[in-house]
């Protein structure tokens, strides 16, 4: 099996690891498990292929520190993080730290596999305008200017009351925009919308400030 079909998984939950192993095997992927961040970093210097799936609830795992250590070691594995449901703050911090995607628990099989396949896209494809970054930009392009403003404030961690005051609209209008954002983007949660927004901006190629409005 090709080396770029590897998924390195940092997760301390043995039952979840068994489920992931079966799921990934069925999808033609090879899973390698590490029950601690320390175990992963011991192996990290020899890793050059695949992607990294990390459960942020694993002891000793911090999204920002993880990315810093990977860069220090010269490792460019794309990182997908799993986070608790509706934890917007962690979601934003994770994407800002450099993760290519995040997934809320409990994990949805199809959502997870789609994220992994996107992460395994050849980096050259992304640099030439394809891949998940460009796809995220085009999906965001369907939003109106006001919807994009509301989404930007949500990504910044602002509650509805603050968004309403800042944009001079009612809280009810904010709620309507939130619902429309989900519908237009074809996602099921605000966390997924945040993921798209962060992917389209934070994960842009170095030096690029391209943004579709």
Peptide bond into 106 cis (omega under 30): yes
Tell whether domain 3-120 is in CATH 3.40.50.2300: yes
Nearest to 108 by CA among 135, 136, 80: 80
* pLDDT tens-digit map of 100-128: 888 877 888 888 888 888 888 755 444 44
Contact assessment for residue 7 and residue 24, using Cβ atoms and an 8 Å cutoff: yes
Cα–Cα distance between 169 and 92 in angstroms, integer? 24
Any idea which architecture 134-201 has in CATH? Orthogonal Bundle (1.10)
30 exposure class (CB count in 10 Å sphere: 0-12, 13-18, 19+)? middle
Q: Which residue has the higher pLDDT, 68 or 89?
A: 68
Tell me, what's the pLDDT at 3?
Answer: 52
Predicted TM-score of the model (pTM): 0.64
Domain positions in the chain are: 3-120, 134-201
Q: Which residue has the higher pLDDT, 88 or 159?
A: 159
Q: Which residue has the higher pLDDT, 71 or 163?
A: 163
Average pLDDT (84-112) is: 78
């Amino acid at each position: 099996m090709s080396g770029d079909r590897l998924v390195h998984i940092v997760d301390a939950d043995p039952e979840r690891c068994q489920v992931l192993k079966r799921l990934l095997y069925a999808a033609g992927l090879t899973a390698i498990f590490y029950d601690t961040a320390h175990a992963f970093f011991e192996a990290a210097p020899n890793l050059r292929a695949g992607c990294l799936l990390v459960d942020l609830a694993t002891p000793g795992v911090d999204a920002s520190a993880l990315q810093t250590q990977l860069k220090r070691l010269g490792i460019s594995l794309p990182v997908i993080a799993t986070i608790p449901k509706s934890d917007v703050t962690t979601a934003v911090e994770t994407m800002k730290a450099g993760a290519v995607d995040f997934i809320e628990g409990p994990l949805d099989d199809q959502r997870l596999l789609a994220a992994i396949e996107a992460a395994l896209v050849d980096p050259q494809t992304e640099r030439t305008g394809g891949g998940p970054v460009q796809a995220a930009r085009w999906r965001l392009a369907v939003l109106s200017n006001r919807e994009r403003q509301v989404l930007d404030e949500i990504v910044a961690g602002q509650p509805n009351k603050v968004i309403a005051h800042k944009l001079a609209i009612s809280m009810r209008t904010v709620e309507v925009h939130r619902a429309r954002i989900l519908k237009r983007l074809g996602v099921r949660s605000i966390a997924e919308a945040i993921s798209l927004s962060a992917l389209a901006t934070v994960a842009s190629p170095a030096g690029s400030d391209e943004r579709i409005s």
